[in-house]
Each structure stands twice: as structure tokens, then as C-alpha cells.
Structure 1
Amino acid sequence: MRSTLQWPSPFPIPTFSYDVELRLRKANEVYEQTNKTLSVPREMKSHILEKIAEAIFALKAYPHPEEIETVASALVLKHPCLTEPGTGKGFDGWNMSLKYKLGNYRSKLRSAGCHEVSINRKRGGGDGEDKRTLKKAKRGEVNYLPDHPSGQSDDTLEEERLILVEELKKRTKNENLVSQKMSVTFSLRRKEIVEVVPMVSEVLERWPALFLPNEIGNEFKRITNVDLLDTFRSSLHQHTPQLLKLYRARQGAFGKEMEDLLNKLDQQTSNIVNQIKQTVLEGLPLFLREDPSALFRKCLDTSPPDRQTRGMKMGILAVIEDDVAPSALPTFTNFTVVLEEAAVLKDISDLLSAVAYLFGLIYALDFEYPKEIRYSFEVIEKVFMEMGTHCSARVQSLKTKLML
């Protein structure tokens, strides 16, 4: 597994070979006195790019373009003699060279049998032509498909998985052992999920610990190095006032559903802080002009379980008390995360946690965002969790409004 450090700012440029470092030091001294840049020989440039590519891959196999640009910028900042004269930012050539070098570096690793860059291919094309395109980790994954730990194989990790499954059958579970085995078997689990693409029911059978609340957060951090619950909670707390303001300012534009949602909030007299955040989450699909029923569904606590989840590929089931007066506001007893009609996580106390766990499971199971609710998940990913900067026009518009 590669390092789980987040993308650093500034990027730490590695130390090069002794002779290259010596030439750079002397050239930097000349540049400081005369502003004369270094004419870099081919072998020296190749060495610099190779070392930097290794450092980048230690953090991320498929960095975003803006992340590669920060590396090029850091290179000329540390070694100003490498600044490119003329127009531009002074490192545009290095930026382009790094992109090509990373592609070549991944090809070399693929030939050596590195899983992450060999599985990230899908076969396509027609007319007898074998066309290949990269299937990249696109949502901020740091460890999308890591290699097995040193000394481990599919067989040895399968033995660890069996120990994990047996531990989950005990009435009193050793949580430390569960976490340790989940960490050790991470590469095997990712290999199965990404390569085999099993049904959720199969993952539940083979990896039941993956659906424990703590392990959802742990798995999300292994994949992205982002703390799931803390990041989501703090970001939602930060954006809630402005989101609520936006909802109220244009509630008439979003139909009766938004008006009803805000009116119910205004009638609340208890637990108001949680109710506000719940309203903000329920209103997000409406504000983004998506169908909220594609993500949220309500049911009575007396409804048959199989009927509650029927037809739900992915979403949150809000369970309502059945014995309240018709005129009273609905009381949610708990929330359930549903995937492929299976209730994979029950009895969640609040909607905020339920949405966070669902988002974590999307990463853990390598799910695509459903098309009918993709903008809401994009907001969670790129606005709330701050994982990526390139947004669709609809999400960028909301992001800009939140900054006002």
C-alpha cells in the first residue's frame, strides 16, 4: 500500500543523486546572481523526472492535473535555476513533462505486475481491434487498488479473512482484532471489489465487518485518507446557514416540496439543531433540481421489512413512528442505509450520520453515483468533503453561492 498522506502543499521535492544535486546547487547560485537559467542535459532531466514520478506515485497513482502542476511549481521554487524563461508560469514545460513521465512510469509498473495500474484498464472497441482505455480512480482515492503487503499473498490474506469472519460471529467481539485484520486484508478486499464487482449480498457474506459503522469510516480513510464523519459533520455545520438561506430565498422556485420542508422546520420546537441539518440534507436534491425520492424514502416502523427496501438500489430509509396523531409532525425513530435492496446498516440515530455512512460505502464498494442523484453526491464529495476541485456547472454554481 502506498503512503496514506494527503496531497502535500507545498509538494516535497525529493533529493536527487549526488552529482545532480551538486550541479543544481551551483546553478542556483549562478541564477541568484545573474538570473541565468540552467540548460538541463537530457540524462539529468530524465533522472529528475524519474525521482519525482516515484515520489508522486508513493502518494497517488493518478494525480489530478492541478496536483501535478503544484509539483512543477514546487520544483522551480526549490531549484530556481530550472525556471523556464519567456512567457507562462516558468514551469509549464516541466508540468507537461511530468504528465508524460507519470504515464510512462505507470506503464513500467504495469509491465512489472503492479495491480493498481494493471486492473485500471477495461477492454473495449470493435471490428476486431483491441482498444484499451484507463479506468482511473476518479474520486480522490489515495489507495484505489494497492498491492498486497510484503510477504502476503491471496492465500495468506484469505486465512486472515477467515479469522476475521469467525471473530464477527462471537457475542463479544475484539474490536482491536477486527480493525487489525481489516487493515491487513485491505488489498485483498479491494482486489475482489474492483476486479470481480460482486453483489452487495456477496460482500456482506465475505466481509461483514465492512458494514460496521467504525469500519466504514476506517475503510474510507484507507481509500482516501479523509476522516469520514468528522469531515462531513464539520463541513455541513459550516455550510448549513448559507444553504438554509439559499433554500429560503428561492423556495418558490423549487415547488411545494421545498416549502413543505421549510414549513415543517419552522414548526419544530425541540432538537432544532439536528432538525436544521436534516432539512438542509433533505433539501439539497431539491435545490439541485434532482428527485429527492431517489435518495430518501420514508416508511412506518410497522411496515414489513422487505416492502420497505423493495426497488431501492441505493438510499436512506427514514423510519417514522406509526402511532402519532395525524396532525403531528412525523417523528423519525431511526435511519437505515440500503444498497441493492439490502438494509446494510440499521438503527442510525440521525440523517447526517446515515448520509455519511452511505457515502463511505459508495467508496468502499466502488459504486458509481446514481445518475438521478449524481449532483447531490458530487456536492458531498467536492464541497463538503473537499475531495477534488473540478466541478460540474451545476455544482460549481452552488459552490460559488456558498462562498458569498
Structure 2
Amino acid sequence: MDLVALKVIIEHRSEKLLLSSGIPSTVEQLHETVKETFGLIEDFTLHYLDEDFGDTKEQHELDRHQLIAESKKKDSTAIKDLMCRTFAHRRHDVISLQMSIEDIKDRWPVLFDVSQVSAEFQRITTLNLEPKFMSMLDFYSPKLLSMFQGKKGAVGERHRAKMSILLQSGIPIQRKREVIIRCLIDHLGEDASALIKDFEDAADAPVSVQEELAEEVMK
């Protein structure tokens, strides 16, 4: 049997796995081989499968329908695994078929859940979305603030009103980021109230805040 080489992505690095006996006959055998070879303790998922593992179009659709059904349940534990298993199918819809946003929302509603936006970003790039976004926001903050400061008209006035708080000393980085994000939303002509939700005394009711945020989806 021919030697088979697989690319295995582990955190932020990629490794080559050589299988001298070819592809194992089952997913479970491949799973165990990868786990033993790289000394993995925690569980993991396989993103790309071929027809040797029963990865057919029919199975893709069954998994997709199961994912939709699971999304209607409260606190479903199967969504994470199903999203990983259907990644290649979803990628085909987006890249190969170039489906519209409305069609993708109809076929993959879970993808527009707040938590799954971050999870999908990590599946594609192997990076965590929020830390990556914040680091780039901090990197471009000087240029963004300069752009907002130079904006003319009513929008510029709103920018400068928001940025006035940054003149104070000891402003925490979280507050600075909030100001820049609000200015950027306004700069792009979007409604900040539709994208940012403010909570009063959130510390007094952290559970209800988390529950409300969990119900948010991308529009």
C-alpha cells in the first residue's frame, strides 16, 4: 500500500503525519493514530474527510439538518462537533457555489450565532477572533483616531464628542477601544445602537446579561 502523508494542524503549527500502511479503514482508527502520534490528550475533530470514510453528499445533508435541529434545542452539546464535521460542506457552499448571504443564513443559521462566528474564524485561521481583532484594533488606533479627528461636518462633530473622554488621564484600554469602535461604526454610516447593546448595572445581574447576549445573532 502506498505511503500517505497528511497535514495535521495543532494549535498554531502544522505537522506532517506519514502513514506507511495508507489511510486507515475507519475514522476511529485514524483518530487514534493521530492522537498517539502527537501525544494528544484532549479530544479533537477531523475537518476534512473523503469518501473512504463515508463522507458523502447525502451524509453532508443529514449532518446539516441535524445541526439545524440541534440549534433549536436549549444548551445543545452536539453543535460544536456538528459544526466541525460540516465545515467542508459549508466551505463548498460559500467558496465553490458562492451562495448569497440570505441562502447561507437559511442553510446554516447556527453560523450566525455570536459564539459560532468566533469558532468559525478559528476553524479557518486557527486563531482566536477576539484577541486577534483587539490586537489589530490597538495597532491601527493612532491612524483611526487621526482619521476621526480630521472628519468634517456633523459626523466629525460626533466623532470629536465621543473622543473627548480620551483626553482624560488613566483611561482604561477597554474604554479607549469602545470609543474607537463606536466612532468607526458611525464613520461607516452604520447605526451603533443596532450593533452595540448597553446594559445598566450589568454586574448586578451577570447571568441575565449572558443569557441575552447568547441569543444575539448576526443580521
Q: Does the C-alpha gap of structure 1 residues 185 and 2 become closer, same or farther in structure 2, counting only changes over 3 Å?
A: farther
- Aligned partners of 1:14, 1:3: CA distance in 2, in Å? 7
Contact 1:262-1:279 within 8 A present in 2 as well: no
2:198 match: 333
Residues 181 and 285 of structure 1, relative CA distance in 2, 3 Å threshold: closer
Q: 1:14 to 1:161 in 2, by over 3 A?
A: closer
Cα separation, partners in 2 of 1:277 and 1:226, compared to 1, 3 Å: same
Runs of 4+ in 1 over 6 A off after TM superposition: 11-15
Question: Closer, same or farther in 2 for the Cα pair 1:184/1:14, shift >3 Å?
Answer: closer
What is the CA–CA distance in structure 2 between the aligned matches of 1:200 and 1:150, rounded to whole Å? 32
Instruction: Give matches, 1:245-324, under 5 Å.
Output: 246-247=146-147, 251=149, 253-256=150-153, 257-266=155-164, 273-284=173-184, 292-293=188-189, 296-298=190-192, 317-318=194-195
Which residue is 1:163 aligned to? 66
User: Structure 1 234/275 Cα, relative in aligned 2: closer, same or farther at 3 Å?
Assistant: same
Alignment match, 1:194: 95
In 1: Cα distance, 2:103 partner to 2:83 partner:
17
Please tell me whether residue 221 in structure 1 is matched to residue 111 in structure 2.
no
Residues 209 and 215 in structure 1, CA contact (< 8 A), matched pair in contact too: yes
Normalising by structure 2, report the TM-score: 0.57
- The answer for unaligned runs of 5 or more in structure 2 is 1-5, 19-46, 200-211
Cα deviations by residue, 1:356-397 (Å, 9 ceiling, x for unpaired)? x97xx9xxxxxxxxxxxxxxxxxxxxxxxxxxxxxxxxxxxx
Q: Secondary structure of 2:191's match?
A: strand
Q: Alignment identity in percent? A: 18
Indicate the RMSD between aligned Cα atoms, in angstroms.
Answer: 4.3
Match of 1:208 among 109, 112, 116: 109
Change (3 A) 1:221 1:201: same
Contact 2:111–2:117 under 8 Å retained in 1 = yes
Distance 1:209 1:181 in 2: 10
Contact residue 2 and residue 146 of structure 1 kept, 8 A: no
Mark the CA change 1:245 to 1:223 in structure 2 (over 3 Å): closer, same or farther.
closer
- Higher radius of gyration, 1 or 2: 1
Per the TM alignment, residue 201 of structure 1 is displaced from its structure 2 partner at its CA by 2.7
CA contact (8 A) 1:4 1:222 kept: no
- Deviation by residue 1:200-235 (Cα, 9 ceiling, x = unmatched): 232222212111222111111111222111211234
For residues 233 and 205 of structure 1, do their structure 2 counterparts lie closer, same or farther at Cα, with a shift above 3 Å needed? same
Residue identity in the other structure for 2:177: K
Which amino acid in 1 is paired with 2:146?
A: L
Mapped partners of 1:272, 1:266: distance in 2: 14
CA contact (8 A) 2:162 2:183 kept: no
Q: What is the one-letter code of the residue matched to 1:333? A: D
Structure 1 residues 223 and 206: alpha-carbon distance in aligned structure 2, compared to 1, 3 A threshold: same
Residues of 2 paired with 1:13 and 1:188: CA distance? Answer: 24
Give secondary structure in 2 for the equivalent of 1:254: coil
- Count of equivalent residues: 168
Q: Which runs of 5+ in 1 are unaligned?
A: 16-144, 300-316, 320-331, 335-346, 362-404
TM-score between the two structures when normalised by the length of structure 1: 0.34
